[in-house]
Structure 1
């Protein structure tokens, strides 16, 4: 029995890695499919509501599609504007970096010609130009994937209103009712999680923008947008999002250190408050993933799909946890994926009584 269980476990691991390798090889198709699947949980309730109000299904899907395209268009315009602003101001900050570097090494015993050969403008500006070319290629690739995402999303939304009727016709009445309730619960919880996560990330981005604007740190809106996107990567994302504005404040206000210090403290307070107080309070422990699960999810999906996979890792892990939570046979997996805080509280409350 033990040997067969061990073989089954090893076989499951091999199957998992085989599937992951296949998904990595087919990421051109699988990644847009996953993004469309997650978007369908946000857009699906809107389509169902419009259909319930007797709006034709095709028109409802078209209206939602136009809204998604409009949001993507605004995002593209915003990103393009931010990149242009950064590139326009980069020579000024590169010159400031030269001043900082010279001040830092002036007290060191270095050859005179060594200091003369170091020029941040010559060293960094070609890399910035290369990065802008890479970004342009990324945006072109993103637009191609966006079209694929929208195609998948349209087909998913067209089938959503009729899903419960197909289940009712495919299974006996009792099983159909149980299956419909389970899938409805899964869809509702995943949709709520994604909406709340977007709202919390958006609030975090706005707070970062306002605070940095008050501190007069340049590109405050850019850093707010960066915080919004990277907030989908817990813990690591907030740290990465806080580094560029702090570094910019150091360069911008050199030799003063107070504004960089205030910037770092303000960002720390915002990230700690939103990540450790507000988000757990709103979502509760049911969607609070274990730190180990978050780390493994980041590594696994980051390995499969790069930065996009890292951004999607936690929403996908949360969706998997919700699915396992609603299927009796998979509930132990859902419990193991959770943080266990609620179980700890229940145990101590019981012992206290």
Structure 2
């Protein structure tokens, strides 16, 4: 009996490890099928958030009709996506016309580095040469952009069907659960997921927009080429935890260096000013707005970023925090998985009554 009690946890751990490895494998293999669906779910969620915001408006003493709210939200959302698509495509064409000048200036800076020939003899010069190939970077961005655009029709179809089906969600849930008490608790989990993700996206949107606008003002004042492009890029990169902010700081500094053969001081100025903006907004303003409501461990966020970056690339990096929020909330509602949720949290405190988990698992 003692031997069996010792072996059972090992078997459970082995089965769990195999299931996790299999899940990661299926996510990697099924990227072409699953990623458009996940992006469609994100778009569907954002449209619902916009519809709720529009629904708060009043005509006299009456709220706007719900169908009108959804129609306005859909039009606003796809108009915003269309503007971003047109802006990015036009910006890539403009950048393509000056890439050769940028590459020549960067190579000239590299050649002026002391001991660069000694470093290059070890093969570093080839690596630096590939890194300075801005045209190749733009080509890669264009291919990524084209791939997402190719999935646009499929994503739009998914979003349309989800909007059409969402009215029947509660009826399906009631039929699936069969118990009014358990149904209320499942809805509570869903509402918690929705509210936390909505709060994260809203605050992240505000802080990223603030960083992008202020960075645009700084870059334009310093005379950096295409400041609006780097402002939009900084805005988007700030949705990627930690790594995005670092790239958003370094990339404008490199562009400042590439503008002219004498751009070293301009590059350092950009690095200091944009870095100061990132530190102030990311470490002062954003934590004050977020508070401790998300309660996610920074180390776990970094690991999650690396994991989803490996699984789904850049798209996975953007989605890693919402995925982590959903995982933590769901795991916290079940006694057997609550220790994992505690490990994922920042302070180890999971604010959930014990009776909720017990009733959710009640046969």
Provide TM-score, normalisation by structure 2.
0.78
Structure 1, 148-157 or 124-133: larger mean CA deviation: 124-133
Match of 1:322 in 2: 329
1:228-243 superposed matches below 5 A: 228-243=235-250
User: Matches of 2:191 and 2:47 in 1, distance apart?
Assistant: 15
Structure of higher RCO (CA pairs closer than 8 Å, 6+ residues apart):
1
Contact 2:103 2:134 in 1 (8 A): no
What SS class does the counterpart of residue 285 from structure 1 fall into? coil
Q: Determine if the alignment matches structure 1 residue 85 to structure 2 residue 94.
A: yes
Match of 1:151 in 2: 157
Match of 2:353 in 1: none
Question: Does the C-alpha gap of structure 1 residues 340 and 4 become closer, same or farther in structure 2, counting only changes over 3 Å?
Answer: same
User: Matches of 1:276 and 1:193 in 2, distance apart?
Assistant: 15
Contact 1:202 1:228 in 2 (8 A): yes
Q: Deviations over 1:269-319 (max 9, x none)?
A: 111112212221111223142132122212221121112112222222123
- Count residues with an aligned counterpart: 330
Match of 2:38 in 1: 34
Task: Please report how far the alpha carbon of residue 208 of structure 1 lies from its aligned counterpart in structure 2 after TM superposition.
Answer: 1.4
Match of 1:68 in 2: 77
User: Matches of 2:14 and 2:156 in 1, distance apart?
Assistant: 38
Q: Deviations over 1:251-276 (max 9, x none)?
A: 33643644322211112211111221
Q: Determine if the alignment matches structure 1 residue 25 to structure 2 residue 29.
A: yes
Match of 1:245 in 2: 252
What SS class does the counterpart of residue 286 from structure 1 fall into? coil
- 5+ residue gaps, structure 1, are 111-117, 344-353
Contact 2:332 2:338 in 1 (8 A): yes
User: Matches of 2:289 and 2:134 in 1, distance apart?
Assistant: 40
- 5+ residue gaps, structure 2, are 57-62, 119-124, 351-363
1:1-353 superposed matches below 5 A: 1-47=5-51, 53-56=64-67, 61-97=70-106, 99-101=108-110, 103-104=112-113, 127-168=133-174, 171-252=178-259, 254-255=261-262, 257-325=264-332, 330-340=337-347
User: Matches of 1:209 and 1:341 in 2, distance apart?
Assistant: 39
Aligned-residue CA RMSD in angstroms?
Answer: 3.3
User: Matches of 2:111 and 2:342 in 1, distance apart?
Assistant: 56
Task: Please report how far the alpha carbon of residue 125 of structure 1 lies from its aligned counterpart in structure 2 after TM superposition.
Answer: 12
Provide TM-score, normalisation by structure 1.
0.80
User: Matches of 1:192 and 1:229 in 2, distance apart?
Assistant: 18
